[in-house]
Amino acid sequence: MSVVWRYSTAKKADEKRMWRQELTITRPDQDGETRLVWTSPSTDETKTSTLDVLNELGDEGWELITETVLDSEIFTRLHGWESVGSPVLTKYLLKRPAAT
């Protein structure tokens, strides 16, 4: 099973830039389910957190085995830092214990 965290941006021709953080949860033999984490500007959409999703999956018996940064970006300014790198795509792999 995997959970992919994605930080993305989109801008339509006549609108302000929209930033989004989303999680896509892909269970074995199922299509991915996408949940919104954060947007800027803020919207009325239901939001969750990565920690809440990982805890929910843990309650279902899934164990986190890896966290891998698949892509990052260099931002000219982020949290007061100049030219700083930040993950924009992270994959979490989870497993269930083998049946005995």
Q: What's the confidence (pLDDT) of residue 9? A: 80
**Tens of pLDDT along 7-47?**
988 766 666 767 889 999 999 989 999 999 988 777 788 88
Output the average pLDDT for the chain. 87
Find tokens 């033999």 and name the residue.
Answer: 29
Q: Compute the distance between CA of residue 91 and CA of residue 80 in angstroms, rounded to an integer.
A: 27
- Domain segments of the chain: what residues? 2-95
Average pLDDT over residues 60-81: 88
